[in-house]
Amino acid sequence: MMKHIVKELEGGLPNTILIPYRQDLKQISGPTKQYERLVIEDKIIDGNPVMTWMATNATVKPDVNGNYKVLKDAKGAKVDGVVTSIMATDRCLANAGETGGNGDFGKILSLFR
C-alpha cells in the first residue's frame, strides 16, 4: 500500500523528493529531544486545541541510554500531530541552509506562534 502511495505522490508532485523517515527510537529520539527543547524555549507555540489535546495524550519512556520517543499514554489516545510536528521540525532544521527555499528556520518557527 505504501509503495503505491509513494509512487502516486512522486508522479503528481513535480520536483518532489520523498525522504524515508523511520519512527524507530534510533532516528526519532534526537529530533524528539530537539522539539522538546524548542517548545520549552517558547520557540514553538501551537495554540490549536487539537494539538493541545494530542500533547496531553503524549508521554515518553526513556530507555537505558536516555533515548525516547513520543508514546500514547492510553489505548485509543492520539498523538499523531505531535509526532508529525517532530518529524517536520527535524526536516526543516536539516534543510535550513539549503537553497531553493527561504532557508530561514526562524521564519518558519514564527508561523507556530
Number of structural domains (the chain) is 1
In a domain, 72, yes or no: yes
pLDDT higher than 70, residue 106: no
pLDDT for the residue numbered 18: 74
Average pLDDT over residues 81-92: 92
In a domain, 62, yes or no: yes
Q: Which domain range does residue 71 map to?
A: 22-110
In a domain, 6, yes or no: no
pLDDT for the residue numbered 99: 55
In a domain, 11, yes or no: no
32-79 confidence digits (pLDDT tens):
999 999 999 988 888 899 999 999 999 998 999 999 999 999 998 999
pLDDT higher than 80, residue 98: no
In a domain, 1, yes or no: no
In a domain, 14, yes or no: no
Q: Which residues of 19-36 are buried (b: 16+ CB within 10 A; e: fewer)?
A: eeeeeeeeebbebbbebe
Q: How confident is the model at residue 107 (pLDDT cuts 50, 70, 90)?
A: low
23-41 confidence digits (pLDDT tens):
889 899 999 999 999 999 9
pLDDT for the residue numbered 113: 56
pLDDT higher than 80, residue 7: no
In a domain, 8, yes or no: no
